[in-house]
Structure 1
């Protein structure tokens, strides 16, 4: 029977919602057990959160000072050691997961399965290729551990709050590299919802025109309580920071409502929103590709349409 180890993603003592989505994928394998591994210098708070996720059988903690910051070079040897006896190792397909999972796969001598969007069988998965234009079925070797990243936009988060999984400490005695060290973490701060977990997202593109004009996107997003995203063209033009980029080379998101404002809809951008619930497009070019995927489209000047929408909202 399959036994799955899910690597917890956390920061600042809080569990990232991506972990519960990876647990949903693990549940689809229909294995014998699902364990969550928390690596930290002080894992108790994160472990307590993970223990509440429905479907989790155990939470395993590894407490080492080297785990104070999520450095892939430090975490991967410990995960590879902890993976002994597990048929699957899952990590969310976030910046964290994409950083650590390949190292784990290399240490275990297996080929990684990336961006799992559905589980067909214990060792058979579907994942997008060619910027999401095609879906490929991948079959992993059943004789080796499956290391996979889970496309979080394709999975809903497992329910939390009803489970009470036991928390057990693991002693992982493996040498860690000395060539990598943590220097500092610089991250943007915002009172707006997190882009990757928000139920509503408003994104601006090159059509917004300038960094100053991008304020109209921020204000409208605040009006409806949405997170703010951007196309790569807007980021490259310097209208907004890189962490706001949505698309193949940015963040893959699946909000209930996605509003694309001044975004033409290049395939690389559409890859990032293919799992969104309702897509609304506003663009002055009625032939823009974004309208081919939009549920609702408004053709016109965004600088006239947005104030009218704000007025209608009251």
Structure 2
């Protein structure tokens, strides 16, 4: 049997999670087809075809797929599902919107948030805010799954181009349409796949302090910026910077936590980080106890001192 991976493509660029999820698909040990809403002649399609493990790129070019609406794409994939043993999505907002809808249409239970693949039908996923890792076995005729991109290294674009063809389009369900899209512009790495993350919490005290301390440190380290839910709720940072059980899941090589205590919901989103550095005034904070290195004291002194050392 074969694996189908759904690719998220925006403005001619595929999401950085796609090569990582491709690595997960390769572990399943089957041929892997990639489905993408684009013309076969699109340069991004040619780049997809070179990713290690891709055996076929299937394109759908009908206009009603271009906004990546879950209703139309789920119906399309459901019609194709008979040819596939696994249907894989990234555990991004895009994938999380599609996978449950498709699973319901196929009358199967989705396997969500997979962080390790032990075999074609055996997976590990977190539960209870990441405090427990469970091993589960899929016994369903088709496995609809979402994969944590941060848990896998990106597949390299080294192989000769795979076959590229046009897949039959389905009907426009007419259930919803895209009215507008607002692009969050920034010069920093994408949070979900960044190698270095600097995260701030409510302990920073204000939006001004968040920007005064977190921004320069992130710029100095070439890092993405994250925030706790408390910091987001307080208006210090936008929602798409939120890390945790109800935000983004990250696994950077370096995670710098500034002014955050380390609530269980936040730790669930970053516990797979490589090296953790905590900067906080509370020596008993969970993040301080979890960290590899801790700087305990006044943030307004420690962060500028750290910046001076990094100069």
- Return the TM-score normalized by structure 1: 0.95
Residue of structure 1 in register with 2:79 after alignment: 81
Residue aligned with 1:78, SS: helix
Q: Is the 8 A contact 1:5 1:34 kept in 2?
A: yes
Structure 1 runs not aligned, ≥5 long:
none
Instruction: State how far apart, in whole Å, the 1-side matches of 2:168 and 2:226 are.
Output: 41
Would the aligned equivalents of 1:117 and 1:151 in 2 still touch at CA under 8 Å?
A: yes
Query: Residue 112 of structure 2 aligns with which residue?
Result: 114
Q: Is residue 2:24 matched to residue 1:14?
A: no
The alignment partner of 2:208 has SS state of coil
Residue 229 of structure 2: aligned partner: 232
Task: State the shift of 1:45 in Å.
Answer: 2.5
Match of residue 63 from structure 2: 65
CA distance in structure 1 between the aligned counterparts of 2:52 and 2:123, rounded to whole angstroms: 22
Aligned to 2:184: 188
> SS of the residue aligned with 1:102?
helix
In 2, are the aligned partners of 1:41 and 1:67 still within 8 Å (CA)? Answer: no
Contact 2:36 2:57 in 1 (8 A): yes
2:206 to 210, 213, 217: 210
- Show CA shifts across 1:237-280 (max 9, x none): 11111111011111101111110000100111111112211111
Q: CA deviation at 1:44?
A: 1.9
Aligned-partner Cα distance in 1 for 2:90–2:150: 10
Q: Which residue of 2 aligns with 1:160?
A: 157
Q: Does 1:221 align with 2:218?
A: yes
Q: How does 1:129-278 map to 2 (within 5 A)?
A: 129-142=127-140, 144-172=141-169, 174-215=170-211, 216-278=213-275
**CA deviation after TM superposition for structure 1 residue 43, in Å:** 6.9
Q: Deviations over 1:199-251 (max 9, x none)?
A: 11111101110011111101111122111110111001111111110111111
Following superposition, the deviation at residue 187 of structure 1 comes to 3.0
What is the alpha-carbon root mean square deviation over aligned residues? 1.4
Distance between the aligned counterparts of 2:204 and 2:46, measured in 1? 44
For the residues of structure 2 that align with 1:162 and 1:208, how far apart are their CA atoms? Answer: 47
Matches of 1:163 and 1:151 in 2, distance apart?
27
2 CA distance for matches of 1:18 and 1:194? Answer: 10
Q: Is contact 2:202-2:234 (8 Å) kept?
A: yes
Decide whether the 8 Å contact of 1:202 with 1:258 is kept in 2: yes
Equivalent residues of 2:9, 2:37 under 8 A apart: no
Residues in 1 aligned to 2:223 and 2:21: alpha-carbon distance in whole angstroms: 24
Label 1:41 to 1:73 Cα distance change in 2 as closer, same or farther (>3 A): farther
| Contact 2:198–2:258 (Cα < 8 Å) also in 1 | yes
Once residues 271 and 154 of structure 1 are traced to their aligned partners in structure 2, the CA distance between those partners, rounded to angstroms, is 13
